[in-house]
Protein backbone atom coordinates (compact mmCIF):
# COMPACT_ATOMS: atom_id res chain seq x y z
CA UNK A 1 0.00 0.00 0.00
CA UNK A 2 1.22 3.49 -0.75
CA UNK A 3 1.56 6.26 1.74
CA UNK A 4 0.55 9.01 -0.66
CA UNK A 5 -1.83 11.63 0.52
CA UNK A 6 -5.14 10.80 -1.11
CA UNK A 7 -7.31 13.23 0.84
CA UNK A 8 -7.54 16.97 1.15
CA UNK A 9 -8.53 19.31 3.98
CA UNK A 10 -9.91 22.66 2.97
CA UNK A 11 -10.13 25.33 5.70
CA UNK A 12 -12.66 28.19 5.59
CA UNK A 13 -13.16 30.77 8.32
CA UNK A 14 -16.83 31.57 8.75
CA UNK A 15 -16.57 34.39 11.22
CA UNK A 16 -17.47 34.39 14.89
CA UNK A 17 -14.66 31.97 15.63
CA UNK A 18 -16.34 29.30 13.57
CA UNK A 19 -14.26 27.30 11.11
CA UNK A 20 -15.42 24.91 8.42
CA UNK A 21 -13.14 22.06 7.45
CA UNK A 22 -14.12 20.38 4.17
CA UNK A 23 -12.65 16.93 3.79
CA UNK A 24 -12.42 15.30 0.40
CA UNK A 25 -10.88 12.23 -1.18
CA UNK A 26 -10.03 8.97 0.49
CA UNK A 27 -9.35 8.81 4.20
CA UNK A 28 -7.98 5.33 4.70
CA UNK A 29 -5.44 3.21 6.48
CA UNK A 30 -2.63 4.01 4.04
CA UNK A 31 -2.53 7.66 5.08
CA UNK A 32 -3.95 7.59 8.58
CA UNK A 33 -0.76 8.92 10.14
CA UNK A 34 -0.64 11.83 7.67
CA UNK A 35 -4.26 12.64 8.37
CA UNK A 36 -3.74 12.47 12.13
CA UNK A 37 -0.74 14.78 12.15
CA UNK A 38 -2.35 17.25 9.75
CA UNK A 39 -5.60 17.34 11.73
CA UNK A 40 -3.70 17.78 14.97
CA UNK A 41 -1.64 20.59 13.46
CA UNK A 42 -4.73 22.36 12.10
CA UNK A 43 -6.63 22.28 15.36
CA UNK A 44 -3.52 23.49 17.12
CA UNK A 45 -2.84 26.30 14.65
CA UNK A 46 -6.31 27.67 14.05
CA UNK A 47 -7.60 27.03 17.54
CA UNK A 48 -11.16 27.95 16.57
CA UNK A 49 -14.10 28.48 18.89
CA UNK A 50 -16.15 25.91 17.12
CA UNK A 51 -15.42 23.58 14.28
CA UNK A 52 -17.64 22.05 11.65
CA UNK A 53 -16.30 19.17 9.60
CA UNK A 54 -17.95 18.66 6.24
CA UNK A 55 -17.74 15.08 5.00
CA UNK A 56 -19.86 15.48 1.87
CA UNK A 57 -16.95 15.10 -0.51
CA UNK A 58 -15.27 12.15 1.16
CA UNK A 59 -15.12 9.39 -1.46
CA UNK A 60 -13.97 6.55 0.74
CA UNK A 61 -13.71 6.02 4.44
CA UNK A 62 -12.45 2.81 5.98
CA UNK A 63 -12.38 1.89 9.63
CA UNK A 64 -8.95 3.47 10.10
CA UNK A 65 -10.24 6.67 8.49
CA UNK A 66 -13.21 6.65 10.83
CA UNK A 67 -10.77 6.20 13.68
CA UNK A 68 -8.93 9.31 12.45
CA UNK A 69 -12.17 11.34 12.55
CA UNK A 70 -12.97 10.17 16.05
CA UNK A 71 -9.46 10.99 17.17
CA UNK A 72 -9.92 14.48 15.74
CA UNK A 73 -13.13 14.86 17.72
CA UNK A 74 -11.31 13.81 20.89
CA UNK A 75 -8.55 16.35 20.37
CA UNK A 76 -11.07 19.10 19.81
CA UNK A 77 -12.90 18.09 22.93
CA UNK A 78 -9.68 18.13 24.93
CA UNK A 79 -9.18 21.78 23.90
CA UNK A 80 -12.87 22.53 24.57
CA UNK A 81 -13.63 23.24 20.94
CA UNK A 82 -17.07 22.10 19.90
CA UNK A 83 -16.78 19.87 16.88
CA UNK A 84 -19.59 18.81 14.65
CA UNK A 85 -19.60 16.48 11.67
CA UNK A 86 -21.93 17.58 8.91
CA UNK A 87 -23.14 15.84 5.75
CA UNK A 88 -22.14 12.49 7.10
CA UNK A 89 -23.21 9.60 4.89
CA UNK A 90 -25.04 6.60 6.27
CA UNK A 91 -21.99 4.47 5.58
CA UNK A 92 -19.70 6.80 7.49
CA UNK A 93 -22.11 6.79 10.42
CA UNK A 94 -22.24 3.01 10.46
CA UNK A 95 -18.51 2.58 10.26
CA UNK A 96 -17.93 5.11 13.04
CA UNK A 97 -20.53 3.33 15.13
CA UNK A 98 -18.41 0.20 14.87
CA UNK A 99 -15.55 1.73 16.80
CA UNK A 100 -15.65 1.17 20.50
CA UNK A 101 -14.30 4.41 21.96
CA UNK A 102 -13.69 3.02 25.41
CA UNK A 103 -11.42 0.38 23.87
CA UNK A 104 -9.11 3.09 22.54
CA UNK A 105 -8.30 4.51 25.93
CA UNK A 106 -8.37 1.25 27.84
CA UNK A 107 -5.23 0.21 29.67
CA UNK A 108 -3.83 -3.20 28.73
CA UNK A 109 -4.96 -5.88 31.19
CA UNK A 110 -1.52 -7.48 31.27
CA UNK A 111 1.51 -5.28 31.63
CA UNK A 112 4.51 -5.62 29.35
CA UNK A 113 6.77 -4.16 32.03
CA UNK A 114 10.39 -5.26 31.84
CA UNK A 115 11.87 -6.76 35.00
CA UNK A 116 14.70 -4.96 36.74
CA UNK A 117 18.01 -6.65 37.43
CA UNK A 118 17.16 -7.92 40.89
CA UNK A 119 13.81 -9.28 39.73
CA UNK A 120 15.60 -10.94 36.84
CA UNK A 121 18.10 -12.61 39.14
CA UNK A 122 15.23 -13.75 41.35
CA UNK A 123 13.26 -15.07 38.39
CA UNK A 124 16.33 -16.83 37.05
CA UNK A 125 17.15 -18.48 40.38
CA UNK A 126 13.57 -19.60 40.86
CA UNK A 127 13.56 -21.03 37.37
CA UNK A 128 16.79 -22.91 38.00
CA UNK A 129 15.48 -24.25 41.28
CA UNK A 130 12.21 -25.38 39.73
CA UNK A 131 14.12 -26.90 36.85
CA UNK A 132 16.27 -28.87 39.28
CA UNK A 133 13.19 -30.10 41.13
CA UNK A 134 11.48 -31.17 37.94
CA UNK A 135 14.59 -32.95 36.65
CA UNK A 136 14.92 -34.80 39.95
CA UNK A 137 11.23 -35.70 39.96
CA UNK A 138 11.49 -36.96 36.43
CA UNK A 139 14.63 -38.91 37.25
CA UNK A 140 12.79 -40.59 40.11
CA UNK A 141 9.88 -41.41 37.80
CA UNK A 142 12.21 -42.71 35.15
CA UNK A 143 14.22 -44.91 37.48
CA UNK A 144 11.04 -46.35 38.98
CA UNK A 145 9.68 -47.05 35.51
CA UNK A 146 12.99 -48.60 34.42
CA UNK A 147 13.09 -50.72 37.55
CA UNK A 148 9.56 -51.89 36.87
CA UNK A 149 10.48 -52.74 33.28
CA UNK A 150 13.35 -54.83 34.63
CA UNK A 151 11.01 -56.94 36.75
CA UNK A 152 8.10 -56.96 34.29
CA UNK A 153 9.76 -56.92 30.88
CA UNK A 154 6.49 -57.83 29.20
CA UNK A 155 5.09 -54.39 30.01
CA UNK A 156 7.73 -52.65 27.92
CA UNK A 157 6.79 -51.60 24.40
CA UNK A 158 9.56 -53.56 22.71
CA UNK A 159 8.53 -52.61 19.17
CA UNK A 160 9.12 -48.99 20.15
CA UNK A 161 12.49 -49.91 21.64
CA UNK A 162 13.47 -51.51 18.34
CA UNK A 163 12.24 -48.48 16.41
CA UNK A 164 14.33 -46.06 18.49
CA UNK A 165 17.26 -48.46 18.41
CA UNK A 166 17.20 -48.11 14.64
CA UNK A 167 16.71 -44.35 14.80
CA UNK A 168 19.33 -43.56 17.42
CA UNK A 169 21.71 -46.43 16.75
CA UNK A 170 21.76 -47.75 13.21
CA UNK A 171 21.03 -44.44 11.52
CA UNK A 172 23.64 -42.70 13.69
CA UNK A 173 26.40 -45.11 12.76
CA UNK A 174 27.71 -43.39 9.60
CA UNK A 175 28.14 -39.98 11.23
CA UNK A 176 29.65 -41.42 14.42
CA UNK A 177 32.05 -43.51 12.32
CA UNK A 178 33.07 -40.62 10.12
CA UNK A 179 33.62 -38.13 12.93
CA UNK A 180 35.59 -40.63 15.04
CA UNK A 181 37.74 -41.63 12.10
CA UNK A 182 38.62 -38.00 11.39
CA UNK A 183 39.22 -37.39 15.09
CA UNK A 184 41.67 -40.32 15.29
CA UNK A 185 43.36 -39.03 12.16
CA UNK A 186 43.76 -35.53 13.59
CA UNK A 187 45.09 -36.67 16.98
CA UNK A 188 47.58 -39.01 15.34
CA UNK A 189 48.73 -36.35 12.92
CA UNK A 190 49.09 -33.58 15.49
CA UNK A 191 50.83 -35.76 18.06
CA UNK A 192 53.14 -37.27 15.47
CA UNK A 193 54.49 -33.79 14.70
CA UNK A 194 55.64 -33.52 18.32
CA UNK A 195 56.69 -37.11 18.94
CA UNK A 196 58.75 -37.27 15.74
CA UNK A 197 61.20 -34.77 17.23
CA UNK A 198 62.05 -37.29 19.93
CA UNK A 199 61.99 -40.28 17.62
CA UNK A 200 59.04 -41.57 19.58
CA UNK A 201 56.59 -41.92 16.71
CA UNK A 202 55.68 -45.39 17.86
CA UNK A 203 53.84 -43.90 20.84
CA UNK A 204 51.28 -42.30 18.51
CA UNK A 205 49.50 -45.66 18.51
CA UNK A 206 49.15 -45.85 22.28
CA UNK A 207 48.26 -42.18 22.54
CA UNK A 208 45.39 -42.50 20.05
CA UNK A 209 44.28 -45.75 21.65
CA UNK A 210 44.14 -44.39 25.19
CA UNK A 211 42.56 -41.10 24.16
CA UNK A 212 39.84 -42.71 22.07
CA UNK A 213 38.91 -45.53 24.41
CA UNK A 214 38.95 -43.69 27.71
CA UNK A 215 37.71 -40.22 26.75
CA UNK A 216 37.04 -39.18 23.21
CA UNK A 217 35.06 -42.21 22.06
CA UNK A 218 32.40 -42.02 24.79
CA UNK A 219 32.26 -38.22 24.80
CA UNK A 220 32.06 -37.71 21.04
CA UNK A 221 29.43 -40.41 20.72
CA UNK A 222 27.43 -38.87 23.54
CA UNK A 223 27.58 -35.43 21.95
CA UNK A 224 26.49 -36.75 18.56
CA UNK A 225 23.66 -38.74 20.10
CA UNK A 226 22.57 -35.69 22.11
CA UNK A 227 22.40 -33.67 18.90
CA UNK A 228 20.70 -36.35 16.83
CA UNK A 229 18.44 -38.16 19.24
CA UNK A 230 18.13 -36.13 22.44
CA UNK A 231 16.71 -33.27 20.39
CA UNK A 232 14.43 -35.62 18.45
CA UNK A 233 13.03 -37.10 21.67
CA UNK A 234 12.33 -33.63 23.08
CA UNK A 235 10.65 -32.46 19.87
CA UNK A 236 8.56 -35.60 19.58
CA UNK A 237 7.27 -35.61 23.15
CA UNK A 238 6.88 -31.82 23.10
CA UNK A 239 4.69 -31.95 20.00
CA UNK A 240 2.66 -34.75 21.54
CA UNK A 241 2.20 -32.56 24.57
CA UNK A 242 0.98 -29.65 22.42
CA UNK A 243 -1.45 -31.95 20.60
CA UNK A 244 -2.82 -33.23 23.93
CA UNK A 245 -1.62 -36.73 23.05
CA UNK A 246 0.13 -37.01 26.40
CA UNK A 247 -3.10 -36.07 28.19
CA UNK A 248 -4.88 -38.73 26.17
CA UNK A 249 -2.38 -41.32 27.41
CA UNK A 250 -2.95 -40.33 31.02
CA UNK A 251 -6.73 -40.52 30.70
CA UNK A 252 -6.44 -43.98 29.16
CA UNK A 253 -4.56 -45.09 32.23
CA UNK A 254 -1.05 -45.18 30.78
CA UNK A 255 1.93 -43.74 32.57
CA UNK A 256 3.50 -41.32 30.06
CA UNK A 257 6.97 -41.91 31.48
CA UNK A 258 6.61 -45.64 31.06
CA UNK A 259 4.90 -45.39 27.70
CA UNK A 260 7.05 -42.71 26.05
CA UNK A 261 10.31 -42.31 27.95
CA UNK A 262 11.24 -45.88 28.87
CA UNK A 263 11.47 -47.23 25.29
CA UNK A 264 13.62 -44.27 24.29
CA UNK A 265 15.93 -44.60 27.29
CA UNK A 266 16.25 -48.37 26.91
CA UNK A 267 17.04 -48.00 23.21
CA UNK A 268 19.66 -45.35 23.97
CA UNK A 269 21.18 -47.56 26.69
CA UNK A 270 21.85 -50.20 24.07
CA UNK A 271 22.66 -47.95 21.14
CA UNK A 272 25.11 -45.57 22.80
CA UNK A 273 27.57 -48.24 24.12
CA UNK A 274 27.56 -49.97 20.73
CA UNK A 275 28.14 -46.67 18.97
CA UNK A 276 30.94 -45.95 21.45
CA UNK A 277 32.65 -49.22 20.53
CA UNK A 278 32.35 -48.27 16.88
CA UNK A 279 33.70 -44.84 17.66
CA UNK A 280 36.76 -46.33 19.45
CA UNK A 281 37.30 -48.66 16.53
CA UNK A 282 37.07 -45.98 13.85
CA UNK A 283 39.20 -43.57 15.88
CA UNK A 284 41.98 -46.13 16.16
CA UNK A 285 41.51 -46.80 12.45
CA UNK A 286 42.09 -43.12 11.74
CA UNK A 287 45.28 -43.22 13.79
CA UNK A 288 46.33 -46.33 11.94
CA UNK A 289 46.05 -44.59 8.59
CA UNK A 290 48.38 -41.81 9.75
CA UNK A 291 50.73 -44.33 11.41
CA UNK A 292 51.05 -46.48 8.30
CA UNK A 293 51.06 -43.78 5.62
CA UNK A 294 52.85 -41.01 7.48
CA UNK A 295 55.08 -42.65 10.08
CA UNK A 296 56.18 -45.78 8.22
CA UNK A 297 54.82 -48.10 10.91
CA UNK A 298 53.49 -51.47 9.84
CA UNK A 299 49.89 -52.33 10.52
CA UNK A 300 51.05 -55.15 12.77
CA UNK A 301 53.23 -52.90 14.96
CA UNK A 302 50.55 -50.27 15.23
CA UNK A 303 47.90 -52.76 16.32
CA UNK A 304 50.35 -54.41 18.72
CA UNK A 305 51.20 -51.09 20.34
CA UNK A 306 47.51 -50.23 20.63
CA UNK A 307 46.66 -53.58 22.19
CA UNK A 308 49.33 -53.04 24.85
CA UNK A 309 47.60 -50.00 26.32
CA UNK A 310 43.97 -51.04 25.91
CA UNK A 311 42.82 -53.47 28.56
CA UNK A 312 39.47 -55.17 28.93
CA UNK A 313 38.95 -53.05 32.04
CA UNK A 314 39.43 -49.82 30.12
CA UNK A 315 36.90 -50.88 27.50
CA UNK A 316 34.50 -51.88 30.24
CA UNK A 317 34.91 -48.48 31.89
CA UNK A 318 34.28 -46.81 28.54
CA UNK A 319 31.07 -48.79 28.09
CA UNK A 320 29.92 -48.11 31.63
CA UNK A 321 30.35 -44.40 31.05
CA UNK A 322 28.44 -44.54 27.81
CA UNK A 323 25.50 -46.31 29.42
CA UNK A 324 25.27 -43.52 31.99
CA UNK A 325 25.57 -40.90 29.22
CA UNK A 326 22.77 -42.64 27.35
CA UNK A 327 20.43 -42.42 30.34
CA UNK A 328 21.31 -38.75 30.81
CA UNK A 329 20.84 -37.77 27.17
CA UNK A 330 17.64 -39.70 26.55
CA UNK A 331 16.30 -38.78 29.98
CA UNK A 332 16.88 -35.06 29.63
CA UNK A 333 15.47 -35.18 26.08
CA UNK A 334 12.25 -36.74 27.33
CA UNK A 335 12.09 -34.48 30.38
CA UNK A 336 12.39 -31.32 28.26
CA UNK A 337 9.70 -32.70 25.99
CA UNK A 338 7.31 -33.27 28.88
CA UNK A 339 7.96 -29.71 30.08
CA UNK A 340 6.56 -28.17 26.88
CA UNK A 341 3.58 -25.92 27.43
CA UNK A 342 2.10 -23.74 24.74
CA UNK A 343 2.89 -23.92 21.08
CA UNK A 344 5.49 -24.25 18.38
CA UNK A 345 7.98 -21.96 20.05
CA UNK A 346 7.99 -23.98 23.26
CA UNK A 347 8.84 -27.11 21.27
CA UNK A 348 11.77 -25.27 19.72
CA UNK A 349 13.18 -24.11 23.03
CA UNK A 350 12.70 -27.57 24.58
CA UNK A 351 14.72 -29.07 21.74
CA UNK A 352 17.54 -26.57 22.17
CA UNK A 353 17.52 -27.04 25.91
CA UNK A 354 17.60 -30.83 25.53
CA UNK A 355 20.82 -30.66 23.52
CA UNK A 356 22.51 -28.01 25.67
CA UNK A 357 21.58 -29.64 28.99
CA UNK A 358 22.42 -33.08 27.58
CA UNK A 359 25.93 -32.10 26.55
CA UNK A 360 26.47 -30.20 29.80
CA UNK A 361 25.44 -33.18 31.92
CA UNK A 362 27.62 -35.51 29.85
CA UNK A 363 30.70 -33.38 30.38
CA UNK A 364 30.05 -32.92 34.11
CA UNK A 365 29.47 -36.64 34.57
CA UNK A 366 32.59 -37.43 32.59
CA UNK A 367 34.67 -35.31 34.98
CA UNK A 368 33.13 -37.18 37.90
CA UNK A 369 34.03 -40.48 36.24
CA UNK A 370 37.62 -39.30 35.64
CA UNK A 371 38.07 -38.69 39.36
CA UNK A 372 36.21 -41.85 40.32
CA UNK A 373 38.28 -44.10 38.05
CA UNK A 374 41.55 -42.56 39.21
CA UNK A 375 40.99 -43.23 42.89
CA UNK A 376 39.25 -46.57 42.67
Question: Which positions lie near another protein, rule CB under 8 A?
Answer: 1-3, 28-30, 32-33, 36, 62-64, 67, 71, 91, 94-95, 97-100, 102-104, 106-112, 341-346
Classify residue 352 by its DSSP letter. Answer: H
The helix (run of H) or strand (run of E) holding residue 333 is helix 312-339
What does the H/E/C string look like for 39-72?
HHHHHHHHCCCEEEEEEEEEEEECHHHHHHHHHH
8 Å CB contact between 361 and 333: no
- Distance from chain centroid for Cα 192: 41
Phi, psi of 27, rounded to the nearest 5 degrees: -105, 105
At closest approach, how far in Å is the CB of 343 from another protein? 3
At closest approach, how far in Å is the CB of 34 from another protein? 9
8 Å CB contact between 217 and 333: no
At closest approach, how far in Å is the CB of 80 from another protein? 22
Please tell me the distance from the alpha carbon of residue 29 to that of residue 261, in angstroms, as a whole number. 53
Sign of CA dihedral 107, 108, 110, 111: negative
Helix and strand totals (H; E) in the chain: 16, 4
Residues 6+ apart with CB under 8 A from 84: 50, 51, 52, 53
C-alpha distances out from residue 267 to 49, 160, 305, 361, Å:
83, 9, 34, 19
Phi, psi of 23, rounded to the nearest 5 degrees: -95, 145
Smaller CB distance to another protein: residue 282 or 338?
338
Smaller CB distance to another protein: residue 38 or 366?
38
At closest approach, how far in Å is the CB of 39 from another protein? 12
C-alpha distances out from residue 294 to 188, 192, 194, 285, Å:
10, 9, 13, 14
At closest approach, how far in Å is the CB of 148 from another protein? 34
Long-range contacts of 139-143 (CB under 8 A, 24+ apart): 139/331, 141/257, 141/261, 142/257, 142/261, 142/262, 142/265, 142/327, 142/331, 142/334
Smaller CB distance to another protein: residue 39 or 330?
39
At closest approach, how far in Å is the CB of 342 from another protein? 5
At closest approach, how far in Å is the CB of 103 from another protein? 2
At closest approach, how far in Å is the CB of 45 from another protein? 20
At closest approach, how far in Å is the CB of 279 from another protein? 38
Amino acid sequence: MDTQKTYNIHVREEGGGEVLLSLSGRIEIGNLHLFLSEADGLIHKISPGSLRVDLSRVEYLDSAGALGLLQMEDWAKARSISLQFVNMTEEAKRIMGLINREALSMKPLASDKKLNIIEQIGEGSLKMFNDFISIMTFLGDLLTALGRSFFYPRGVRWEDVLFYLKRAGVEGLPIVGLISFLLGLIIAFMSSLQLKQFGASIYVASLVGVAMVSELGPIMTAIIVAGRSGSAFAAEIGTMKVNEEVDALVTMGFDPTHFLAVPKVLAAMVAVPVLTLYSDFFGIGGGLVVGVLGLDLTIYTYVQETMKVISVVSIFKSLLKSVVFAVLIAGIGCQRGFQVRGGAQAVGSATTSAVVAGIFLVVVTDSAFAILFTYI
